[in-house]
Amino acid sequence: LDTEQLEGTTTIGNNSYLISKTFVDNYEAAQKFCSDYGAYVAEIDSEEEFRFLLEFQQSKNAIYDLFISGTDAATEDKWLHQRTGAEVKFFKWVDGQPSNTWGSENCLELISYYGGGMNDMKCVYPERPIRILCEKESIE
């Protein structure tokens, strides 16, 4: 595992998580980065996982936002995981979100300020590249 591009790694249960040092400006690049590590863009499914990952994020790079899985590009406010097409079941929005500013915020990010939470953002955002949170299922 080339850890040079990683800010940090952690494990909860059967899953490992990686935070990139690399900044990307679109979701496709985030997916590619994760797949290079045999992982996928993190899918947050529960309050427990959310709290754990927010703490991990704050311990590593509190000022950075992270791409996480979820898009409502097909139908506004119907969030699906890009990898599986399954419905996103867990949300912890920061206040005032999702806002769908400019009618084009169709991806999700995890932010650590304002107490931490989810925000909808553009899937392609050259003016504001962010880091990536990847998830990898451990093989027993």
Residue-wise pLDDT for 75-115, tens only, equals: 999 999 999 999 999 999 999 999 999 899 999 999 988 88
Tally the domains of the chain. 1
Which CATH number do you get for residue 21? 3.10.100.10
pLDDT for 129: 94
What range does the domain containing 46 cover? 3-137
Query: What separation in angstroms does the CA of 39 have from each of 68, 95, 103, 122, 135?
Result: 12, 30, 30, 22, 5
With cut-offs at 50, 70 and 90, classify the pLDDT of residue 62.
low
Return mean pLDDT, the chain: 93
Confidence at residue 61, expressed as pLDDT on a 0 to 100 scale: 60
- pLDDT (0 to 100) of residue 20: 95
- Where residue 54 falls among pLDDT bands split at 50, 70, 90? very high
